[in-house]
């Protein structure tokens, strides 16, 4: 018999009796193949990009080698090569760093010089790894590898503890807005797997990181060399209760950093076939950097400021009804207006900043210091403009986080805040809000080098719709539950979602929401009504009715709703929630967690609400006794794209409840 | 509950690659797409369609023809380009040899692999190309794993791995001086499996040599090579017939076949998912010469 799929034997041909076998085997093989193909293509297509960080020789490359080796992702020819190369170097162990240190100079010096990319997949996820260098000299290569990461692994050598480079890399991870950080305390084998050593480093790191914005930090004690707590749990450290690194990588909740709220479409290229082939075709090609675009949407082209409508969204496979990040598409517009590379298409009610001055934090990446005598260019999205002036506000000492305001320039690997003045305006957001429209690079016009990477800062401390200050609790870490959403919802037999009823006081939100709650509960779908008035008795009892307090009211309610939804309950929020930005923030909170958020606009005319006036509020407002009632003394911003509009007074409550239930069924949230 | 606005990993990779192609088309004056007839460059052609249709490609397609190609690959090349209606430039190693720019290796182990670099760099200079798209992937080889998506080449076409430009986010620096050029690898982050899965999802045709077929082969250095006019058998080597397929399409003189019965795309994908050897390790003699064979060739200007 011939060996299949083996690589050593040779399949001989022309042998009489194998022909019969072959027919049969081919059938079986292709059935097996189909199954395998299906398994591969059906595999969860979740992609996690992570980067290593930490000081030189802390064991980053060894860790990646170990991760690949222990999860059986190393091909046998690669392994043979590592074995041979380790021996040649006189090492009596397998030097797994050789799996990623691919350059001759790296192997000679035993250090990593530039980023290496590796790819692997488990049943849970696919991974793109960027193994970055620890040496300070190569910081720009670390920034290259980390700029697109969802997660950073910061290694700390157990013997040395936090050194300057660990701090620098933690700082850069925060600067780059990497949502998750795992601190691996490595070489635990060299400190007798001592819990006290680990605890001291955790404390040190926490103290340092308290001053950075790192939303999610996890600590794991490991030995990359021996494999403890990398793929398999360590027997040598029974005191550590958490999961090994790979488990964490497979299960960490990637609160997607895609921004689905603010529509941003930087135009890269104009598709314009010669009129002989396709008559009058013109489309604007680009990659969606934020928000969801649909045909029929009214849009604004920046910086020119012209209005038009999306006529169609084209792809090679035909037009689509929705485009969202990170899709590459081509937009056709209803009007013949001036749009070209460098234009950004947005929605009129949600605009980015258009300015030729901005503040940013930069990492300087050139041997030649920032100098007023040189000519620089700034590239951001698809626009490149001349840099007029760059004024250094301060340089940051990464070890102490001290701001040196006397600094006038930035040198290789310096980090600092710079004020930029540009020859013509850019269209941008803060990096915090959007990693794609909030990042830039600086180029040296004479050498063509990329000399700096920068992230754009919020110019106002609290911009409208931005995250308010009290969401910054950097010391607090999210405690992971062992229970995944899939397990929870599958076991319970139902999932959760949030229905957000917004509208004027007296529009009928609570009546409809309460009726929907009743119907859901009767159908054994857990549901819970979060009524604005009720919440103000407890959780929100400290809040008044000024704009800020209203926003805070919405924010807290949104968080409670999200937790209920995650737990498998349908949260029914009945809240005036007058400001679009607050509702968008509530929606973003849900979409970041991949939770359904359904906005229902109860659109009863003001006159009708006033006539009903169930709580006597309008009467009091009209008499001047109550100031700032929404609709009378305070504005109500109607939703522009609600999922459902109710309350237009020609329908009964029963019918409106039906419509809500139909929508839930259509979205697959309840059985139809 | 449906995950909202989720793009599969393959479509995410596709979208990134299309973004890269459009950036390069916009920022360079004379790009060119290098097409070998192999699976990776077949994917590149499809990505170019995704990026620029219904307009023609804003660049030409170029094949570096060693003269030692698989006839199936050449036949496929011509047919595919005709279907697309795009312009094909053929730069031939044969011409470089006859003009004295390159010297053919001799002996039974002769290969034209290294000579391609001369022909490639000459063609880039002759046509004034300032950017060349290639289908190299980082999962192929350890030196490639280090290379940027937009990779700078000096006026001698050389790659200097220790002086690569930083490449942050998806902001590519496309500025070069006259005489320099960039190599662009839109599918850097794809794996071999991604490429096959994409070919299957898109229903792309590939040359027949990727599927199992009977061929006269001989064994050398543990690899199977096709018997062809371009190789001499040396002592003890014996030709025999076997069912084989190719994992890569290169020069007949240095590309090894794998024994296989995988006759459909699904079978090929299943075989690759189960393999214990890398694509280049299993089938490319050119990478086996020294520990840094690929790095050395890339420094000189190889693909
Ligand atoms: N005893 C012990 N040695 C380790 C461990 N992890 C790594 N090493 C050793 O530490 C040295 C440096 O490891 P590398 O993986 O090259 O370090 P790196 O962090 O990648 O270094 P750069 O990339 O150059 O910054 C090597 O000699 C490793 O074998 C560990 O867990 N225990
Ligand atoms: Mg390393």
Do residue B5 and residue A292 have CB atoms under 8 angstroms apart? yes
Whether B245 and B181 share a structural domain: no
Give A14's contacts (C-beta < 8 A, 6+ positions apart): B241
Fold exhibited by the domain A265-273+280-346: Elongation Factor Tu (Ef-tu); domain 3 (2.40.30)
Query: In this structure, is residue B2 part of a structural domain?
Result: no
Provide the pLDDT for residue A14. Answer: 32
Overall number of domains in chain B:
2
In this prediction, residue A45 has a pLDDT band, given cuts at 50, 70 and 90, of: low
| Chain A residues inside the 8 Å CB shell of B275 | 5, 7, 75
Query: In this structure, is residue B3 part of a structural domain?
Result: no
Provide the greatest CA pair distance for chain A.
103
Read off the pLDDT of residues A82-117 as tens digits, 9 standing for 90 and up. Answer: 888 888 878 777 788 888 888 888 888 888 889 999
3-state secondary structure A369-380: CCCCCCCEEEEE
Angle of CA points B296, B298, B300, to nearest 5° = 75
A3 pLDDT above the threshold of 60: no
In this prediction, residue A462 has a pLDDT band, given cuts at 50, 70 and 90, of: very low
| Chain A residues inside the 8 Å CB shell of B185 | none
User: Residue B286 — φ and ψ, nearest 5°?
Assistant: -65, -20
Provide the pLDDT for residue B270. Answer: 85
For A6-10+29-256, CATH number? 3.40.50.300
Q: If you search the block for the tokens 């459909």, which residue do you land on?
A: B264
- What's the rounded Cα separation, in Å, for the pair A156 and A206? 13
Q: What value does the mean pLDDT take over residues A352-369?
A: 95
Fold exhibited by the domain A494-666: Rossmann fold (3.40.50)
Provide the pLDDT for residue A72. Answer: 78
DSSP three-state, residue B76: helix
Read off the pLDDT of residues A429-452 as tens digits, 9 standing for 90 and up. Answer: 999 899 999 999 999 999 999 999
Among B161, B160, B157, B182, smallest CA distance to B172 is for B182
Provide the pLDDT for residue A479. Answer: 53
Mean pLDDT of chain B: 88
Q: Please, what sign has the CA dihedral across residues A616, A621, A624, A625? A: positive
Whether B151 and B266 share a structural domain: no
- What's the rounded Cα separation, in Å, for the pair A6 and A117? 28
- What's the rounded Cα separation, in Å, for the pair A238 and B22? 53
A468 pLDDT above the threshold of 90: no
- Residue with CA nearest ligand 1 atom 14: A59
- What's the rounded Cα separation, in Å, for the pair A467 and A77? 51
A567 pLDDT above the threshold of 50: yes
Residue A387 Cβ < 6 Å to ligand 1: no
CA–CA distances in Å: residue A327 to residues A148, A258, A291:
16, 11, 11
Query: In this structure, is residue B80 part of a structural domain?
Result: yes
B160 shares contact with chain A (CB less than 8 Å): no
Residue A223 Cβ < 6 Å to ligand 1: yes
Provide the greatest CA pair distance for chain B.
67
Assign residue A578 a region (left: φ > 0; alpha: ψ between -120 and 50; beta: otherwise): alpha
Provide the pLDDT for residue B226. Answer: 85
Residue A288 Cβ < 6 Å to ligand 1: no
Q: Which residues have a beta carbon within 5 Å of ligand 2, which is an ion?
A: A 60-61, 112
A9 pLDDT above the threshold of 50: no
Q: What value does the mean pLDDT take over residues A476-492?
A: 68
Q: Please, how many CA atoms are within 13 Å of residue A178, restricted to the half-sphere of its CB?
A: 30
A176 pLDDT above the threshold of 50: yes
Selected residue with higher pLDDT from B163 and A415: A415
Residue A642 Cβ < 6 Å to ligand 1: no
Provide the pLDDT for residue A459. Answer: 65
User: Residue A122 — φ and ψ, nearest 5°?
Assistant: -120, 180
Q: Which residue of A has its CA nearest to B165?
A: A450
Selected residue with higher pLDDT from A125 and B49: B49
The two structure tokens encoding residue A393: 């506000």
Provide the pLDDT for residue A471. Answer: 41
Q: Please, how many CA atoms are within 13 Å of residue B232, restricted to the half-sphere of its CB?
A: 8
CATH number of the domain bearing residue B99:
3.40.50.620
In this prediction, residue B301 has a pLDDT band, given cuts at 50, 70 and 90, of: confident
Q: What value does the mean pLDDT take over residues A194-208?
A: 96
Whether B255 and B148 share a structural domain: no
Angle of CA points B120, B125, B127, to nearest 5° = 95
Poorest-pLDDT segment among A64-68, A288-292, B132-136:
A64-68
Among A203, A243, A247, smallest CA distance to A220 is for A243
Provide the pLDDT for residue B66. Answer: 84
Mean pLDDT of chain A: 86
Whether B240 and B270 share a structural domain: yes
Provide the pLDDT for residue B290. Answer: 63
Among B85, B9, B234, smallest CA distance to A277 is for B85
Provide the pLDDT for residue A42. Answer: 67
Which run of H or of E encompasses A207?
helix A195-209
Provide the pLDDT for residue A540. Answer: 86
Fold exhibited by the domain A353-462: Elongation Factor Tu (Ef-tu); domain 3 (2.40.30)
Whether B178 and B208 share a structural domain: no
Q: Where are the beta strands (DSSP E) in A89-170?
A: 116-121, 126-131, 151-157
Provide the pLDDT for residue B70. Answer: 86
Selected residue with higher pLDDT from B264 and A648: B264
- Which residue out of B171, B193, B201, B211 would a mutagenesis test of the A interface target, given it has the greatest number of A Cβ atoms within 10 Å? B171
Tally: H helices and E strands in chain A: 16, 25
Rg from Cα positions in chain A: 29
Among B173, B93, B187, smallest CA distance to B136 is for B187
CA–CA distances in Å: residue A646 to residues A330, A601, A659, A660, A661:
34, 6, 9, 9, 13
- Which residue out of B15, B131, B146, B224 would a mutagenesis test of the A interface target, given it has the greatest number of A Cβ atoms within 10 Å? B146
CB of A229 closer than 8 Å to CB of A245: yes
- What's the rounded Cα separation, in Å, for the pair A51 and B301? 29
In this prediction, residue B230 has a pLDDT band, given cuts at 50, 70 and 90, of: confident
Whether B39 and B131 share a structural domain: yes
B268 pLDDT above the threshold of 60: yes
A37 shares contact with chain B (CB less than 8 Å): yes
- Residue with CA nearest ligand 1 atom 24: A111
CB of A418 closer than 8 Å to CB of A426: no
Provide the pLDDT for residue B287. Answer: 59
Q: What value does the mean pLDDT take over residues A261-266?
A: 94
Provide the pLDDT for residue B284. Answer: 66
DSSP three-state, residue A358: strand
Read off the pLDDT of residues A300-330 as tens digits, 9 standing for 90 and up. Answer: 999 989 999 999 999 999 999 999 999 999 9
**Which range in A593-602, B135-144, B163-172 is most confidently predicted, on average pLDDT?**
B163-172
Q: Across-strand partners of B32?
A: B60, B132
Q: If you search the block for the tokens 């002086």, which residue do you land on?
A: B163
Whether B104 and B215 share a structural domain: no
A516 pLDDT above the threshold of 70: yes
A33 pLDDT above the threshold of 80: no
Provide the pLDDT for residue A450. Answer: 97
CB of A504 closer than 8 Å to CB of A576: yes
- What's the rounded Cα separation, in Å, for the pair A296 and B157? 48
A611 pLDDT above the threshold of 90: no
DSSP three-state, residue B214: strand
Provide the pLDDT for residue A541. Answer: 84
Q: Across-strand partners of A302?
A: A344
- What's the rounded Cα separation, in Å, for the pair A343 and A303? 6
Domains A6-10+29-256 and A494-666 share a fold: yes
In this prediction, residue B286 has a pLDDT band, given cuts at 50, 70 and 90, of: low
First vs last Cα of chain A: how many Å apart?
55
> How close does chain B come to A434, measured CA to CA in Å?
12
In this prediction, residue A672 has a pLDDT band, given cuts at 50, 70 and 90, of: low
Whether B278 and B135 share a structural domain: no
Q: Across-strand partners of B244?
A: B213, B259
| Chain B residues inside the 8 Å CB shell of A126 | 9
Q: What value does the mean pLDDT take over residues A493-513?
A: 91
Whether B182 and B208 share a structural domain: no
Q: Which of residues 88-117 of B touch A (CB under 8 A)?
A: none
CA–CA distances in Å: residue A435 to residues A148, A179, A381, A467:
9, 11, 10, 15
A24 pLDDT above the threshold of 50: no
Whether B49 and B147 share a structural domain: yes
Domain ranges of chain A: 6-10+29-256, 265-273+280-346, 353-462, 494-666
- What's the rounded Cα separation, in Å, for the pair A80 and B284? 16
Query: In this structure, is residue B4 part of a structural domain?
Result: no
Residue A112 Cβ < 6 Å to ligand 1: yes
Q: What is the DSSP letter of A72?
A: T
DSSP string, B164-182: PPP--TT-------TT-EE
Picking from B19, B53, B141, the nearest residue to A316 by CB comes out as B53
- What's the rounded Cα separation, in Å, for the pair B46 and B201? 12
CB of A222 closer than 8 Å to CB of A245: yes
Q: Across-strand partners of A392?
A: A418
Among B180, B197, B193, smallest CA distance to B132 is for B180
Q: Which of A147, A173, A577, A591 is catalytic?
A: A577
Range of the domain at B79: 9-193+292-300
Q: Within 10 Å of residue B117's Cβ, how many Cβ atoms?
A: 20
Residue A187 Cβ < 6 Å to ligand 1: yes
The two structure tokens encoding residue A481: 């539950």
Q: What value does the mean pLDDT take over residues A589-595?
A: 84
Angle of CA points B44, B46, B49, to nearest 5° = 110
Q: Please, how many CA atoms are within 13 Å of residue A175, restricted to the half-sphere of its CB?
A: 26
Whether B105 and B216 share a structural domain: no
- What's the rounded Cα separation, in Å, for the pair A391 and A420? 7
> Percent of chain A scored above 90 by pLDDT?
56
CB of A601 closer than 8 Å to CB of A642: yes
- The best mutation among A62, A65, A193 to test binding of ligand 1, ranked by most ligand atoms within 8 Å of the C-beta, falls on A62
Among A61, A139, A136, smallest CA distance to A101 is for A61
Cα torsion through A501, A502, A507, A513, rounded to 10: 10
User: What is the distance in A from the centroid of ligand 2 to the CA of A50?
Assistant: 14
Do residue A316 and residue B282 have CB atoms under 8 angstroms apart? no
Read off the pLDDT of residues A374-406 as tens digits, 9 standing for 90 and up. Answer: 999 999 999 999 999 999 999 999 888 899 999
Provide the pLDDT for residue B56. Answer: 95
Alpha helical stretches, state H, A413-502? 485-492
**Does A61 participate in catalysis according to the annotation?**
no
- Where b means 16+ CB within 10 Å and e means fewer, A458-496 reads beeeeeebbeeeeeeeeeeeeeeeeeebeeebeeeebbb
Angle of CA points A441, A135, A390, to nearest 5° = 30
Q: Which residue of B has its CA nearest to A104?
A: B292
B2 pLDDT above the threshold of 60: no
Provide the pLDDT for residue A28. Answer: 47
CB of A603 closer than 8 Å to CB of A507: yes
Upstream peptide bond of B299 is cis (omega within 30 degrees of 0): no
Angle of CA points A186, A189, A195, to nearest 5° = 75
DSSP three-state, residue B272: helix
Q: Which residue of B has its CA nearest to A116?
A: B146
- What's the rounded Cα separation, in Å, for the pair B13 and A668? 28
A320 shares contact with chain B (CB less than 8 Å): no
Q: Within 10 Å of residue A72's Cβ, how many Cβ atoms?
A: 10
- Residue with CA nearest ligand 1 atom 27: A57
- CA A635 vs. chain centroid, Å, equals 33
| Chain A residues inside the 8 Å CB shell of B266 | 30, 33-34, 36-37
Selected residue with higher pLDDT from B270 and A128: A128
Picking from B1, B189, B191, the nearest residue to A668 by CB comes out as B1
Quote the ipTM score. 0.92
Q: What value does the mean pLDDT take over residues A34-55?
A: 80
């Amino acid at each position: 018999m011939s060996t299949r799929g083996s690589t050593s034997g040779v399949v001989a041909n022309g042998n009489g009796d194998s022909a019969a076998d072959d027919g049969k085997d081919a059938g079986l093989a292709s059935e097996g193949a189909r199954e395998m193909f299906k398994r591969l293509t059906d595999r969860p297509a979740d992609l996690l990009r992570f980067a290593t960080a930490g000081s030189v020789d802390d064991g980053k490359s060894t860790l990646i080698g170990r991760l690949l080796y222990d999860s059986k992702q190393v091909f046998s020819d690669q392994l043979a090569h590592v074995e041979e190369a380790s021996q040649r170097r006189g090492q009596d162990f397998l030097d797994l760093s050789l799996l990623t240190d691919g350059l001759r100079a790296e192997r000679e010096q035993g250090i990593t010089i530039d980023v290496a990319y590796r790819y692997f997949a488990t049943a849970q996820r696919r991974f793109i790894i960027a193994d970055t260098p620890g040496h300070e000299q190569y910081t720009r290569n670390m920034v290259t590898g980390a700029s697109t990461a969802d997660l950073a692994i910061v290694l700390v050598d157990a013997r040395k503890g936090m050194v300057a480079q660990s701090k620098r890399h933690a700082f850069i991870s925060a600067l780059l807005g990497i949502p998750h950080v795992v601190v691996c305390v490595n070489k635990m084998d060299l400190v007798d797997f001592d819990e006290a050593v680990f605890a001291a480093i955790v404390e040190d790191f926490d103290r340092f990181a308290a001053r950075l914005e790192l939303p999610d930090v996890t600590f794991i004690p490991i030995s990359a060399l021996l494999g403890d707590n990398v793929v398999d749990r360590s027997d040598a450290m029974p005191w550590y209760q958490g999961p090994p690194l790979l488990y964490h990588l497979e299960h960490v909740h990637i609160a997607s950093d895609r921004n689905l709220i603010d529509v941003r479409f930087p135009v890269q290229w104009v598709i314009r076939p010669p009129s002989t082939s396709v008559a009058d075709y013109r489309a604007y090609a680009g990659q969606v950097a934020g928000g969801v675009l649909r045909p029929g949407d009214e849009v604004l082209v920046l910086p020119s400021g012209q209005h038009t409508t999306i006529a169609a969204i084209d792809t090679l496979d035909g037009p689509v009804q929705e485009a969202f990040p990170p899709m590459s598409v081509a937009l056709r517009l209803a009007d013949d207006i001036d749009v070209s590379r460098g234009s950004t298409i947005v929605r009129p009610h949600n605009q980015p900043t258009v300015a030729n001055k901005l503040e940013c934090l930069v990492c300087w990446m050139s041997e030649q210091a920032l100098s007023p005598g040189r000519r620089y260019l700034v590239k951001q999205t698809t626009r490149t403009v001349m840099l007029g002036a760059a004024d250094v506000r301060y340089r940051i000492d990464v070890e102490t986080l001290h701001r040196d305001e006397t600094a006038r320039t930035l040198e290789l690997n310096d980090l600092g805040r710079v004020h930029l003045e540009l020859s013509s305006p850019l269209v941008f957001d803060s990096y915090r809000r959007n990693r794609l429209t909030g990042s830039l690079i600086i180029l040296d016009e004479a050498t063509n080098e990329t000399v700096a990477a920068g992230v754009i800062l919020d110019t106002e401390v609290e911009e409208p719709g931005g995250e308010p200050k009290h969401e910054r609790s950097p010391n607090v870490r999210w405690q992971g539950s062992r229970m995944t959403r899939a397990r929870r919802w599958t076991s319970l037999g139902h999932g959760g979602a949030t229905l957000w009823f917004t509208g004027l006081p007296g529009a009928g939100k609570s009546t409809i929401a309460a009726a929907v709650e009743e119907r859901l509960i009767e159908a054994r779908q857990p549901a819970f009504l979060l009524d604005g008035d009720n919440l103000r008795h407890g959780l929100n009892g400290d809040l008044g009715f000024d704009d800020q307090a209203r926003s805070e009211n919405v924010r807290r309610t949104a968080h409670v709703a999200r937790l209920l939804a995650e737990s498998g309950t349908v949260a029914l929020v009945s809240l005036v929630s007058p400001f679009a930005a607050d509702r968008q923030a509530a929606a973003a909170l849900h979409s970041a967690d991949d939770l359904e958020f359904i906005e229902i606009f109860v659109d009863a005319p003001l006159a009708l609400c006033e006539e009903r006036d169930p709580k006597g509020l309008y009467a009091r407002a009209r008499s001047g006794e109550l100031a700032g009632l929404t609709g009378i003394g305070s504005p109500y911003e109607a939703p522009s794209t609600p999922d459902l509009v109710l309350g237009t007074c020609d329908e009964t409550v029963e019918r409106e409840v039906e419509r809500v239930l139909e929508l839930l069924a259509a979205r697959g949230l309840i059985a139809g | 509950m449906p995950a909202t606005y989720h793009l599969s990993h393959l479509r995410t990779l596709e979208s990134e690659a299309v973004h890269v192609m459009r950036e390069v088309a916009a920022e360079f004056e004379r790009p060119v797409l290098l097409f070998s007839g192999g699976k990776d460059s077949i994917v590149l052609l499809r990505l170019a369609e995704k990026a620029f249709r219904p307009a023609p490609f804003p660049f030409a397609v170029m094949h570096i023809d060693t003269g030692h190609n698989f006839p199936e690959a050449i036949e496929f090349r011509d047919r595919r380009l005709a279907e697309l209606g795009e312009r094909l430039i053929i730069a031939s190693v044969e011409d470089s040899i006859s003009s004295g720019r390159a010297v053919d290796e001799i002996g039974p182990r002769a290969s034209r692999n290294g000579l391609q670099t001369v022909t490639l760099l000459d063609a880039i200079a002759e046509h004034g190309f300032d950017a060349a798209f290639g289908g190299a992937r980082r999962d192929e080889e350890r030196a490639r794993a280090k290379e940027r998506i937009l990779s700078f080449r000096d006026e001698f076409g050389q790659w200097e791995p220790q002086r690569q430009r930083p490449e942050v986010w998806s902001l590519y620096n496309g500025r070069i001086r006259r005489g320099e050029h960039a190599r662009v690898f839109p599918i850097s982050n794809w794996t071999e499996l991604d490429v096959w899965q994409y070919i299957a999802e898109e229903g792309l045709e590939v040359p027949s040599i990727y599927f199992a077929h009977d061929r006269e082969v001989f064994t050398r250095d543990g690899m199977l090579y096709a018997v062809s006019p371009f190789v001499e058998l040396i002592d003890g080597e014996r030709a025999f017939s076997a069912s084989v397929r190719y994992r890569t399409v290169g020069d007949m003189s240095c590309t090894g076949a794998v024994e296989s019965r995988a006759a459909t795309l699904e079978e090929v994908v299943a075989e690759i998912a189960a393999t214990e050897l890398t694509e280049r390790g299993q089938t490319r003699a050119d990478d086996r010469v020294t520990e840094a064979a690929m790095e050395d060739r890339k420094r000189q200007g190889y693909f």
